[in-house]
Amino acid sequence: MEPLTWTGSLSVLNPVTLAVAAFFAVAVVAQIALAFFAPDPSVQSGPDGRLAARGGAFGASERATRWLFLALLALVLVYLVGGAVLPFGAAGITGAISKLLVPVWISLAVMFVLSFRFKRRLGLYGKLFDSTIGMIGLAIVMFWVFVAVFSDTIATADVLSQISQMKNKLPGTPVPDGSGWYLLGGDHLGRDVFSRMVEGSRIVIVIAPFATVFAFMVGITLGLPAGYYGGMLDTGLSFLANLILAFPVILFFYLLVTPEIVQTGMPQYLAVVLFLFPIIFLLVLVNSRFYVMPGLRNRLVIAIAVVGGYLYLSFVGEAGTRVAILPEALDLIHMPANMLIVFVSVVFVNSPTVFRIVRGLVLDIKTRDYVAAGQTRGERPWYIMIWEILPNARGPLIVDFCLRIGYTTILLGTLGFFGLGLSPESPDWGSTINAGRRLMTVAQHPAIVPALALMSLVLGLNLLADGLREESLKD
């Protein structure tokens, strides 16, 4: 088997792609320069009075940038579609990866078609498709979500299998037994970089959003009463939040993973406290909403208490540890100790920031007339907080949620890079970058591939947050 090139039989398009990319870069630089030095561009309006085009040199550079970007995007689509259609390996590394990602492309297409079809019925999510930046961000984020979902199908090798002949091999190198290629090369132990990147996405997609959700549950549950009631409750909770935020984050993680601290069971004790808040929040939400319907309220409360309590006990407890509550036969959720430490640490660090954001929003919203009207009608305080104040704070909270997932992703990568995350053999992106950076002078791809994956996911989350912020401000 011959090594694969990047574009294979589609290499005839390479000169055109390089020329379009070069012209696009020149057009972008020209547009930036003209924005500083060119006189105010004349505006050409259409018959309905809307902006149709900009005149002058700036308008020309703007149009050139737009059309060159679309041409570059069209060429990229040709590479991807060609790779998906041609036989495996015929279209090179890019085509082979595109063929493996066919389930991802189909899922993205179906999601966007359905979203465009029903966008006027989907609230803020539907309005996101009126924002170009938001759509690009959503596409990048959902790309990695679908990669994580189909990771078992996409990965071409076991993430722990080692082939000594493939150590630090370049992308496209064939496996010695002829069973395939290492599409993105091999790492310092002869493991497939592409498969580890794909499997690493599952770890990030599972931990980052769920840890952020738990942090928001803690922050919202404490931030609502702190901002609404004020007084000593606000002072005490704000002091605790500021105390946690004043502690250096990296030092905190170092302390949590030291063997002496782990043996004391402190991470599990933190989990026992923090993981109660989602159940508390759901109980308060149901009680405040259905307080006037005691029959339905009691049934829902019992269901949440039973199901949530079982999941809680199974989640925080682990056989053989200091917190082993359920019998091993009934404990269905098994979380490795190092993953629990990372999860708890991320929730603990993010919760005070969410608390301060929610508290600030509540301090502003509780002065509105509709809150005073609810108080005049005799509505209970928790009903006002959850069903009157919280919905009107959803815009900033949704935007912060997207941004915080990005921060959590960076934090997970940072922990893995410093060896504070999961086990060294884990394919999570931070650990992979840490392992690859040690041999950067010999082979760059083992570190660059997961670094680009991490960067693209965080970029997508930031663009998605920008799109959501843009649309939420229009409400």
Q: What pLDDT was estimated at residue 284?
A: 92
pLDDT value for 104: 94
Q: Give the Cβ contact number of residue 104 at 10 Å.
A: 21
Report the candidate in 200, 111, 198 with the shortest Cα–Cα distance to residue 153.
Answer: 198
Give 428's pLDDT tier (boundaries 50, 70, 90): confident
Q: What is the pLDDT of residue 323?
A: 66
Residue range 220-249: mean pLDDT, rounded? 90
Q: How many CB atoms lie within 10 A of CB 230?
A: 14
pLDDT band at 42 (very low <50, low <70, confident <90, very high): low
H-helix or E-strand spanning residue 53:
strand 51-54
Please determine, for residue 326, whether its predicted confidence score (pLDDT) is greater than 90.
Answer: no
186/444 Cα distance (integer angstroms): 11
Element (H, E) at 44: strand 43-45
Q: Which whole number is the average pLDDT over 406-426?
A: 77
Structure tokens at 112: 């966007």
Instruction: Find the length of the chain.
Output: 475
Q: On the CB side of 67, how many CA atoms lie within 13 Å of its CA?
A: 6
**Residue 124 above 80 pLDDT?**
no
* 242-256 confidence digits (pLDDT tens): 988 888 777 777 777
Whether residue 294 is predicted with pLDDT greater than 60 in this model: the reply is yes
The predicted model scores a pTM of 0.85
CA 282/CA 289 separation, integer angstroms: 11
